[in-house]
Structure 1
Amino acid sequence: MGTLSGKTALVTGASRGIGRGIARKLAQEGALVAVHYGGNEVAARGTLALIEEEGGRAFPVRAELGVPGDVEALYAQLEDGLAGSSVGPELDILVNNAGMSGSARIHEVTPELFDRLFAVNTKSLLFLVQRGLKNLRDGGRIINVSSAATRIAYPESVVYSMTKGALDTFTLALAKELGGRGITVNAVGPGFVETDMNAGKRATPEAAAQLAGWSVFNRIGQPSDVAEVVAFLASDASRWITGQCIDTSGGSRL
């Protein structure tokens, strides 16, 4: 029996990277996991296959975020998937991981980049939570995937950093808003993690070594490093923690 046995969870952006690691870990702990993805069905099927191989339960949810109708499309599929797994529409854990990057210094930012990043990383997340509160049980968990870029100046991706700063503020306000329902709201702030998103930044041994040097442990993070913390925040053991952003950057730039 895992710490999340009998729980239901939705992980957005779970087809690859950190999201895949989180989905796998929650399933390993006994949760039934809705694996959300935007368009890469092959990658999403890969996540589902890994979960099933490890003895977990999961089902796919496809919805492109940051476009009209995204929230309702996602929850319609979520509720169908839950019903197909013989459980009700209730949700215990909502992990907001989906997001997009966009490297641009201040003089490189365009209105199109700004609008797209905020649409996916901030706007869609807010309305996913708003709609999800109809399904989220009292005593539930909301976990937002932020970034160490809210703590460490990273001018190379100024708009991306801004979206994550907004997410941290949202986490704080929402924690107070939902405290009366016993729902905890927290965030995790990864640094550089070995995912497709930053593959180009570690394309050479020298570049990879530079990224590893950000952490006091002199290595690049793995999705499991973040997923373990998310699983803790999703469990009953974290019941007295809310409104926090837990740094999961391996002590980057301490």
Structure 2
Amino acid sequence: MVHIEAAKPPAHATPLAQALPRHAPRVLIPACNRPLGRHPFHMVGQKYVTAVRLAGCLPVVVPAAHPDELADWLDMADGLFLTGSPSNVDPSHFDEPVHDPSLPLDPARDQWTLPLIRLAVERGLPLLGVCRGFQEANVALGGTLHQAVHEQPGLNDHRAGGDEVPVAVQYGPAHPVHLSPDGQLIKILKTPSVQVNSVHGQGIKRLAPGLRVEALAPDGLVEAFSISQSPGFSLCVQWHPEWQAATNPVSMAILTAFGQACQDWRDRHRPPSR
């Protein structure tokens, strides 16, 4: 008999700290599309998957979806998490030409996540968007973007620097955001302002109809919004709360609120069988 040893995980693998409880809410995470070598891959950053787990939810990565499949995906979901990405939303979706052709786009993601967002909002499915996801939601609902915030008069440079800058510095606290006094976010964080990181070149130009400003940067750029026409939890932020979220009380407060909303949705729409 040939004895075959179980493969050992690579040294860089991160073990899961603990299993999620049975019947944990399911959260859809749309994947990006990137080449590795000569082959195309569907990708999701590990930090986003970890953030969903920290929210107490089961991450369900969706590699791609045909428009006719979107309702089926949403039927199995208790929440939607829109991640950040190196890519930008194609400006054709808000009737502008590409400003800087050197920056990456992901038209395959745009093709199905924009209608997915609209369907999720119609249902009132709990939604949390981060960075590109924040911009994606604004565009999906009829808003527009500055393709180069740093070129706009009166706005600051919100980029984090090039690849030579250490990641810990790129994602370190960059500036405060001031929370709307009657918004959803201030009820979650219970403070009028918080320090956030800043790792984005694009930003809100025109806020989509039905969106409510939740936080502003010192230069007036919208840093967070909620979706007033959605009957459920909805929060999109321009910064990256998923970065080292477990040690960041602000990030954990946001993820906990999102996770609770997903649990409430599951209990109303997909109660566990006894």
Q: TM-score range by the shorter chain?
A: 0.3 to 0.5
Q: What is the TM-score with the length of structure 2 in the denominator?
A: 0.31
Structure with greater helix share of residues:
1
Larger Rg: 2
Q: What is the TM-score with the length of structure 1 in the denominator?
A: 0.33
